Amino acid sequence: MSGWAIFGQAVVVLVGGGLVGLFYRGVDRKIAARMQARIGPPLRQPFLDLGKLLVKETVIPKTAVAWLFSAMPFLAVLASFTALLYLPLGPFGPVLEGHGDAILVLYLLAIPALAMALGGFASGSPLGVVGAQRELVMLMSYEFPLAVVLVAVAWRLSELGLAPAFSLGTMAQNPLWGAVGPLGIIGLALLLVSLLVVTPAELAKIPFDIPEAETEIAGGLMVEYSGTYLALFYLADAVRTVVMAGLVVALFIPYGLAGRLGLSGAVGDVVDLAFWLFKVLLVMVVAVTTVRVGMARLKVDQIARGFWLRITAVALSGLLLLVLDKVVMG
Amino acid sequence: MERNPEGENLEYGALEEVFEVPIGPIHPALKEPIRFTFQVRGERIVDVQIRTGFAHRGIEFMGMRQGRNLIQILYLSERICGICSVSHPIAFTQAVERAAGIEVPPRAQYIRVIISELERIHSHLLWAGVAAHELGFDTLLHLTWRVREKVLDILEELTGNRINYAIPIFGGVRRDITPEQYPRVWEAIRYYRGLLEELLDAFLRDPTVEARTRGVGILEPKEAEELCAVGPTARASGLRKDVRQDRPYLAYSDFEVKAITPADYGLTPVGDVYDKIVVRLLEVGQSLDIIEKALENMPEGEITSFPKIPALLAHLKKAEGEGLGWHEAPRGEVIHYVRLVSGEESPLIWKVKAPTYSNLLSWYPMFEDQEVADIPIIAACIDPCICCMDRVYIVRNGKEETWTKEELLRLSWEKTRRMRR
């Protein structure tokens, strides 16, 4: 594919990803409000919020390390949008297929979190520092189970002789559910569960919103951010939600509709793309919206010591079952 | 935060150094201005200083010194607190009635009891919602506040207002409960009876709420007793302490109120935040019982012994003496002291002691060795009412002053001498 074609696709995907991310944020807020017996904001509210933030004054505190403080929002946006380019989009493969693999996506997902933590440290506010410390503790807790899930899927794919096994494109084209025995299916289910639990943590949503924790540390690492910078973090967060949900879809529910309906060509692609968007929305509602409506905020030690040990255990036993399945069933 | 001089290495050093984390006077965790200064190591609280005085409005001064008559002051007392807006007037009217020797007809006493128990329901539900919000559980906040609307509607039906009911007056109450209103109150009681089990279930059997409140902010029974904690704060520690039970007033002796502790729910009282939720939710049920009994046994008769306001004012102007009024407000015991002088419209002394003032000190043991994440819920768990509590704040020449017990004692002696002269 020529450079210009890739560039064109990338622009479409980036703009589309941003729009979908913001729109889904609106859907998330609406559904959450309905569950809480409220009316909730209109679906376009995230766009209004973003627009309002962009015209507001951007304040950099005197005590902040100004260059670091200002660079971090851009880094967060850059990383989350780049991750979009490595995501299989339903009928279409990743835009940058072959230029990076799932491990890169892991890093791209971690960078916004790191950027927020650095921004918190650089803000010169005690609340920001506390929030940043919490973000780092969280990052250390959830990255391992997330990596275990990816490695397990990639390993099983390589055992099937598929290459490149670490590409999200390969993972999305070869759903594992049909390729493994009963033990493997249980293993995959466990991996799916741990990935779904990691999702709200990755996105720092309740019960894992401790880095921001409004009532405790008044917004934590976001406390000093305002105006354009806050808007950028807001946008990065919305896009990251789509990437994270897209990751779950690519790994575990990459099925399309077009084949089953007997559609092909452009119509099939449109149907599949719509179906993919629906799946992403579904994952978001299940893993983020319902969870954040149904739970209280946990404490950092409850997350780090108690909770993550269990999720890591679940992910590892999923991996173990996959291995056993391969060894026993051949 | 003022960093320790050596505390430059943030990533690692911060976990070892003691940091100063200021919370307040304005902070999302606080509904009213008060300042906590925490010494924090990592996420652990090492020490705390509490500074009050940001919400002082000088209400007692307005009552005593500006030529207001007692009826005007009654409405002022209602505005000491937005939530306890019948508790303060009930304590105040009792103080004045004792000082002036006024009898209250039984029916008026019953109506006062009903309104104050309805207020307890709305206050406890409000608190439960706030507590859920402090825990980051906004769904529970929205649900509790939605069901709280019912009791506010009933209060509006009975008094004309959601808060600031203007019901008690010296010698009785200002509005009767009419026969048409009874069925609506009964309906509200049935509504809450059906809901109570659901509320208990939502709060007490939710794993995340339990994880965040069990063992958090413990107030040992001994500490509660020594620090003179009152209300649900003391009862959650297992002290059977309730003014309605210990020194019954109004018609409360008819209802045989028993102080509620977590033991009534089959738990061993620990004194943590969880127990405080238990006590407050159970007290909603207790208030329903009291209202039911009051409605069933409501005596007939007058609702005030002074139907004419000028006659009441004339009587009060002649009165001479002192009186103490007390009431179990939703947050605990509230006390009003009044001294009347014959020939004066305003009282010589009007002193208010709100429940939060007694519970303030119990914050210190509760915060000890807790985590930063627990600050909001511990701050909220005594149901602090800062505007009730801030009674004195001294600023002279732009500087704040703190007076010690000895200085205050000396001042009060001087004042007594002046008055005798």
B18 and B159 share a domain?
Answer: no
For position B325, what pLDDT does the model report? 92
Alpha-carbon gap: A292 to the closest alpha carbon of chain B (Å)? 8
CA–CA distance, B121 with B150 (Å, rounded to integer): 10
The CATH number of whichever domain residue B246 belongs to comes to 1.10.645.10
Chain B residue whose CA is closest to A132: B11
Segment A265-281, tens digit of pLDDT: 778 788 888 888 888 89
For position A293, what pLDDT does the model report? 85
For position B13, what pLDDT does the model report? 44
B286 and B356 share a domain?
Answer: yes
- Measured over all CA atoms, what is the biggest interatomic distance in chain B, rounded to whole angstroms? 76
For position B337, what pLDDT does the model report? 92
Greater confidence, B395 or A227?
Answer: A227
Q: Residue B350 is part of which domain span? A: 59-368+376-383
For position A330, what pLDDT does the model report? 59
B161 and B307 share a domain?
Answer: yes
CA–CA distance, A100 with A96 (Å, rounded to integer): 7
CA–CA distance, A91 with A102 (Å, rounded to integer): 18
B75 and B49 share a domain?
Answer: no
- Classify residue B152: in a domain, yes or no: yes
- Classify residue B94: in a domain, yes or no: yes
B254 and B226 share a domain?
Answer: yes
Using CB atoms and an 8 Å cut-off, which of residues 202-231 of chain A contact chain B? Answer: 206-207, 209-210, 213-219
Contact partners, residue A145, CB within 8 Å, separation at least 6? A194, A195, A197, A198, A308, A311, A312, A314, A315
Total count of domains within chain B: 2
B317 and B187 share a domain?
Answer: yes
Alpha-carbon gap: B375 to the closest alpha carbon of chain A (Å)? 7
Q: Is A133 on the interface with B (CB under 8 A)?
A: yes
Pairing of strands B332-340, B394-396: unpaired
- Classify residue B5: in a domain, yes or no: no
- Classify residue B2: in a domain, yes or no: no
Contact partners, residue B204, CB within 8 Å, separation at least 6? B210, B274, B277, B278, B281
C-beta atoms of B132 and A296 within 8 A = yes
Question: Measured between beta carbons, which residues in chain B are less than 8 angstroms from residue A214?
Answer: 28, 136
- Label residue A131 exposed, middle or buried (CB < 10 Å: 0-12, 13-18, 19+): buried
Residues of B266-301 as b/e, b for ≥16 C-beta within 10 angstroms? eeebbbbbbbbbbbbbbbbbbbbebbbbbeeebeee
Long-range contacts made by residues A158-163, C-beta under 8 angstroms, separation at least 24?
A159/A326
B296 and B412 share a domain?
Answer: no
CA–CA distance, B323 with A29 (Å, rounded to integer): 55
pLDDT at A125 over 90: no
B175 and B303 share a domain?
Answer: yes
pLDDT digit of tens for each residue in chain B (421 aa)?
344 444 443 444 445 678 788 887 888 878 888 888 888 887 788 888 888 888 888 888 888 877 788 888 999 898 888 888 899 999 999 999 999 989 899 999 999 999 999 999 999 999 999 988 888 888 888 989 989 988 998 998 888 888 888 889 998 898 888 888 889 999 999 999 988 888 888 888 888 888 888 888 888 888 888 888 898 999 988 888 888 888 888 888 888 888 888 888 888 888 888 999 999 999 999 999 999 999 999 898 888 888 888 998 889 888 888 999 999 999 989 999 999 888 888 888 888 888 888 888 888 898 888 888 888 888 888 888 887 777 677 777 777 777 777 888 898 888 888 877 7
- Classify residue B76: in a domain, yes or no: yes
B99 and B43 share a domain?
Answer: no
Q: Phi and psi dihedrals of B173, rounded to 5?
A: -130, 165
Residue count (chain B) = 421
Q: Which of B15, B132, B375 sits opposite A216 (nearest CB)?
A: B375
Q: Phi and psi dihedrals of B50, rounded to 5?
A: -120, 130
B340 and B221 share a domain?
Answer: yes
CA–CA distance, B92 with A133 (Å, rounded to integer): 50
Q: Is A63 on the interface with B (CB under 8 A)?
A: no
For position A273, what pLDDT does the model report? 84
CA–CA distance, B208 with B213 (Å, rounded to integer): 9
For position B126, what pLDDT does the model report? 92
Which has the minimum average pLDDT: A26-30, A214-218, B27-31? Answer: A214-218
B47 and B66 share a domain?
Answer: no
Question: Measured between beta carbons, which residues in chain B are less than 8 angstroms from residue A121?
Answer: 10-11
Residue that is written with structure tokens 């019948």 in the block: B86
Strand partners, B44: B41, B371
C-beta atoms of A302 and B211 within 8 A = yes
Nearest to A221 by CA among A112, A131, A118: A131
Q: Phi and psi dihedrals of B327, rounded to 5?
A: -160, 145
Alpha-carbon gap: B200 to the closest alpha carbon of chain A (Å)? 16
pLDDT at A295 over 50: yes
- Classify residue B48: in a domain, yes or no: yes
- Label residue B55 exposed, middle or buried (CB < 10 Å: 0-12, 13-18, 19+): middle
Residue B172 CA to chain centroid, in angstroms?
Answer: 23
**Global ipTM:** 0.72
CA–CA distance, A180 with B198 (Å, rounded to integer): 45
Which band of pLDDT confidence, cut at 50, 70 and 90, is reported for residue A306?
Answer: low
- Classify residue B29: in a domain, yes or no: yes
B206 and B322 share a domain?
Answer: yes
Greater confidence, A113 or A96?
Answer: A113
- Classify residue B308: in a domain, yes or no: yes
Which band of pLDDT confidence, cut at 50, 70 and 90, is reported for residue A329?
Answer: low
Q: pTM value?
A: 0.80
